[in-house]
Structure 1
Amino acid sequence: MAAPTSSQTLPNGLRDVQRLITDHNSEGKAIFSKDIPSTSSWQEISPAFSFFLGYTTKGFPVDLNASKAGELPADVQKYEIDLKSPPGGLSLGNGTVLRFVDFAPDKEAYMHRTESIDYGVVLEGSLELLLDSGETRIMNRGDVCVQRATMHAWKNVTENGGWARMIFVLISSEKVVVGGQELGEDLPGKIGDKDATN
């Protein structure tokens, strides 16, 4: 019999996220891990948006094994550390990040660039993607953007003043070089800063 799914509603009106992690039992059968609770832990970055760090990994290929019996697998250990002390940036060097972001109505996040290739999918609402060239596009539920280490910002343009949610998978990349100039990470300060919006 399946366990009930999370149906809790957050203060912003969006449904909470249930994150399930799988593992293996001693017979090699797939099971749901009990090492990290499936409940989310949201970090308010500012009144404009909040994050839930869904998962992180370090190194390629990812090590899914425990170094000895009774220990957590290497990837779960890394994620547990990042949950207790979230990384200061958006992406991780030589790693991956799975992040949910909730955007407040009519708010625009800061212009930024990560040293990663990001897959961003709109889960709820509508968002405007703004590029530093001045180009913009509207993204609706189910739309995806492949963000290739470019300067960009997000603005919640959901009708009737609703919150919007995106899920991002960030995979570390080499620095982008344009016209002989390296374009590395460009953030307006630590992600935990309360002034991280325009």
Structure 2
Amino acid sequence: MPIEPRLIVTGHSRNGAAVFVEDRHPEPVRVQALPGADFYLLWGTGDGEAKVGERDAAPVLRPYFPGLGGSRALFLRWAAHSSEPQAVPDPASVAAEVAEKLPGLTDPFEDNGDGMHTTDTVDYAICLEGELCLELDDGAEVTLTPGTCVVQLGTRHAWKNKADQPALMCYVQIGAVRVTG
């Protein structure tokens, strides 16, 4: 039985007591750019301003990748065999849909269509279900299985599901400064 993503958020009542303010199953977001993938946008903080103690806190979910000091938390269910070549839909239609639903998602991706990309984020990627391959720019690969956590430090990489089953990942992204040299 596949995991159904669920989000629970805590906060503060008017008198300052801890309360549950949200408990829901987020609806998946789907885009043609990643056929068969389900994005479950959970929570995020504004760039440079993670705060606690606010009443009526609201998530910052867009753009897809956080800027410096911002964060995003999401589940992403990768379709089985997502690494196999797919028919390319109309590029203008794909770009317009991504701009509307998940702005910034495709910005760091290279034009050759192999999924390689680099982001200015520290990412914690946790495999919850299935298997997912992480490929680095030198061709090195590792297969993630449930319970595996990858700490991604702004390296050039691609995610690929080569298995017969979907893979569910949890990603926590924190906007970072890229250091060169």
Task: Work out whether the TM-score is over 0.5.
Answer: yes
Shift of 1:64: 2.8
Q: Label 1:97 to 1:50 Cα distance change in 2 as closer, same or farther (>3 A).
A: same
**Hey, what's the Cα distance between the residues in 1 that align with 2:134 and 2:171?**
14
Shift of 1:33: 0.4
1:166-181 to structure 2, matched below 5 A, reads: 166-178=169-181
| 3-state SS in 2 of match to 1:44 | coil
For structure 2, list consecutive stretches of 5 or more residues without a partner in the other structure: 84-113
Shift of 1:63: 2.1
**Hey, what's the Cα distance between the residues in 1 that align with 2:179 and 2:125?**
19
Cα contact 1:149–1:176 (8 A) shared by 2: no
Q: Decide which of 14, 21, 36 is 1:26's aligned counterpart.
A: 14
Shift of 1:169: 0.6
Report the counterpart of residue 39 of structure 1 in structure 2: 25
Shift of 1:17: 0.9
State the number of aligned residues. 149
Q: Label 1:48 to 1:176 Cα distance change in 2 as closer, same or farther (>3 A).
A: farther
Say whether residues 1:163 and 2:150 are aligned partners: no
- Give the superposed CA RMSD: 2.1
Say whether residues 1:119 and 2:124 are aligned partners: yes
Q: Decide which of 70, 74, 94 is 1:99's aligned counterpart.
A: 74
Q: Give the letter aligned to residue 112 of structure 1.
A: H
Say whether residues 1:50 and 2:38 are aligned partners: yes
Shift of 1:142: 0.4
**Hey, what's the Cα distance between the residues in 2 that align with 1:156 and 1:147?**
18
**Hey, what's the Cα distance between the residues in 1 that align with 2:67 and 2:177?**
12
Identical pairs, percent: 27
| 3-state SS in 1 of match to 2:138 | coil
| 3-state SS in 1 of match to 2:68 | coil
Say whether residues 1:135 and 2:131 are aligned partners: no
1:65-80 to structure 2, matched below 5 A, reads: 65-66=53-54, 72-73=56-57, 76=58, 79=59
Structure index of larger Rg: 1
| 3-state SS in 2 of match to 1:33 | strand
TM-score by length of structure 1 reads: 0.67
For structure 1, list consecutive stretches of 5 or more residues without a partner in the other structure: 1-12, 179-198
TM-score by length of structure 2 reads: 0.73
Cα contact 2:45–2:70 (8 A) shared by 1: yes
Q: Give the letter aligned to residue 103 of structure 1.
A: W
**Hey, what's the Cα distance between the residues in 2 that align with 1:57 and 1:100?**
16
Runs of 4+ in 1 over 6 A off after TM superposition: none
Shift of 1:51: 1.1
Deviations 1:93-134 (A, max 9, x none): 330010111111111271111111100000000111100111
